[in-house]
């Protein structure tokens, strides 16, 4: 019986599959010869290129600048020459504008942003600006610009900051390794975020399948009580923001509202480490850790790679694909995106490269709904996935809205348990798009 806290409604228990890489220390991936840096690696306006073909660039130099508040710049991941500024394959599926760099192998760095060695004495507005200019986005996969999340409107009162070390997606261990190998940087990032809100105490939520990370983060936080490490029950999607807030604080974020509605801000542990590097060392976000794993890759590893590195290069570093690989997913198996080619770049939001063999991929065709209700029981948001899918299938957009389609966090729990293999998430994602445009047309 678990002693860990958890969320109240729904959730599923897929096999963890983390054994391949949980004990494998992070290794630096070698620099590739060419890197492709998309100008859109975040939610919000794509960055605007400020370099052109033929330009020489240094690592950390701005390649494309932020366009407005909900946007971040992208930086050169290494030194070299700009070969192309053009559309290129993107992990989201549709080709997008990107800057291709031919690396010179020197990995020479531009001057860092001016370090802020004592962030606890810095003005919060200076720190927020720094987090934007360093190109920091949510590294848990959401890629929302971090400075925006850390800038709630004046009427919002934030009294709780939670670091998300849950990593509930099966197979992935990048955050786990980071908590073991860089606990000090993560906690220093938490201190910066606490300072932004004038708070003295924060939380770190970690699933109980990472007892070594719970121990290490607790040890590094010390006895002062300023950072409480909270062991959480192993249940998917424990790491989803609203579920994490409920598990740690016992607060329920209302339908349609953001975490700030209950006074909470959540940051992924890797994002916290990136905040620390940007503020204290003046280092822009040009690298992250990814788990390359699954039965379809020969030597699963946790790799630190430069943004823009081709996925093929990372897979090759892990001994290449096995002969019976059937599917490569960027991210985890529940929320990741299947790729048609390995010639896409790994970017800021790439937490996993999951290589699945035929026996791990569902191939059965979808059948009719059996009205078993399993999807309803599994939904952590208390939705009726089958109702939303049926409504949008019949083109009843208003009804899909009445079913609260927009509350869906696309966690995939409903599709995971569906015995008829109905692609519920795709239907609901489509429904969300239709509901949003329907609402916009009505000025809602």
Q: For binding to ligand SF4 (CB under 6 A), which residues are involved?
A: 369-375, 378-379, 381, 383, 385-386, 408-414, 417-420, 422, 424-425, 428
Minimum CB distance to ligand SF4 smaller for 82 or for 411: 411
Minimum CB distance to ligand SF4 smaller for 110 or for 409: 409
Between CA 346 and CA 274 the distance in angstroms is: 17
Cβ at position 203, least distance to ligand SF4 in Å: 23
Work out the angle at residue 339's Cα, subtended by the Cα atoms of residues 333 and 345, and round it to the nearest 5 degrees.
110
Cβ at position 372, least distance to ligand SF4 in Å: 4
Cβ count near 54 (within 10 Å): 8
Between CA 148 and CA 159 the distance in angstroms is: 17
Minimum CB distance to ligand SF4 smaller for 179 or for 411: 411
Cβ at position 240, least distance to ligand SF4 in Å: 8
Cβ at position 243, least distance to ligand SF4 in Å: 10
Minimum CB distance to ligand SF4 smaller for 115 or for 387: 387
Minimum CB distance to ligand SF4 smaller for 127 or for 408: 408
Cβ at position 287, least distance to ligand SF4 in Å: 31
Cβ at position 193, least distance to ligand SF4 in Å: 27
Number of Cα atoms under 13 Å in the Cβ half of residue 44: 25
Q: What backbone torsions phi and psi does residue 406 show, to the nearest 5 degrees?
A: -70, -15
Q: Which residue, among 280, 165, 283, has the nearest Cα to 227 in the 3D structure?
A: 165
Work out the angle at residue 268's Cα, subtended by the Cα atoms of residues 264 and 273, and round it to the nearest 5 degrees.
120
What is the chain's alpha carbon radius of gyration, rounded to the nearest angstrom? 21
Minimum CB distance to ligand SF4 smaller for 102 or for 410: 410
Between CA 263 and CA 367 the distance in angstroms is: 43
CB 289 within 8 A of CB 302: yes
Minimum CB distance to ligand SF4 smaller for 188 or for 425: 425
Between CA 418 and CA 423 the distance in angstroms is: 9
Cβ at position 390, least distance to ligand SF4 in Å: 9
């Amino acid at each position: 019986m678990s002693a860990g806290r958890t969320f109240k409604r729904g959730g599923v228990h897929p096999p963890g599959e983390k054994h391949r890489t949980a004990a494998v220390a992070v290794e630096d991936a070698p620099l590739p010869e060419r890197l492709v840096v998309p100008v859109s690696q975040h939610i919000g306006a794509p960055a605007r290129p400020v370099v052109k073909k033929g330009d020489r660039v240094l690592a950390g130099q701005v390649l494309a600048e932020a366009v407005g508040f909900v946007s971040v710049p992208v930086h050169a991941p290494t030194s070299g020459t700009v070969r192309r500024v053009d559309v290129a394959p993107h992990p989201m599926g549709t080709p997008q504008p990107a800057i291709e760099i031919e690396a010179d192998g020197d990995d020479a760095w531009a001057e860092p942003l001016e370090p802020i060695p004592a962030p606890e004495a810095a003005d919060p507005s200076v720190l927020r600006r720094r987090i934007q200019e360093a190109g920091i986005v949510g590294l848990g996969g959401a890629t929302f610009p971090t400075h925006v999340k850390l800038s709630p409107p004046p009427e919002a009162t934030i009294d709780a900051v939670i670091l998300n070390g849950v990593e509930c997606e099966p197979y992935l261990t990048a955050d786990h390794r980071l908590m073991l190998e860089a606990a000090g940087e993560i906690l220093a990032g938490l201190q910066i975020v606490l300072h932004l809100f004038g708070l003295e105490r924060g939380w770190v939520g970690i699933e109980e399948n990472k007892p070594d990370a719970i121990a290490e983060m607790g040890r590094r936080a010390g006895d002062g009580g300023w950072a409480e490490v909270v062991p959480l029950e192993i249940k998917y999607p424990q790491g989803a923001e609203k579920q994490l807030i409920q598990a740690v604080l016992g607060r329920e974020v209302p339908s349609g509202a953001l975490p700030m509605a209950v006074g909470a801000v959540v940051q992924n542990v890797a994002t916290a480490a990136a905040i620390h590097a940007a503020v204290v060392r003046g280092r822009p976000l040009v690298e992250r850790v990814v788990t390359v794993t699954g039965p379809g890759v020969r030597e699963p590893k946790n790799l630190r790679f430069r943004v823009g590195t081709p996925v093929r290069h990372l897979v090759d570093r892990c001994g290449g694909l096995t002969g019976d690989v059937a599917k490569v997913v960027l991210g985890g198996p529940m929320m990741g995106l299947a790729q048609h080619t390995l010639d896409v770049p790994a970017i800021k939001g790439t937490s996993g490269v999951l290589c699945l063999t035929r026996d791990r991929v569902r191939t059965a065709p979808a059948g009719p709904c059996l009205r078993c209700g399993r999807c309803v029981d599994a939904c952590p948001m208390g939705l009726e996935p089958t109702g939303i899918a049926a409504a949008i299938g019949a083109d009843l957009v208003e009804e899909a809205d009445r079913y609260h389609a927009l509350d869906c966090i696309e966690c995939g729990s409903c599709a995971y348990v569906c015995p008829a293999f109905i692609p519920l998430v795709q239907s609901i994602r489509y429904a969300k798009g239709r509901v949003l445009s329907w609402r916009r047309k009505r000025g809602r």
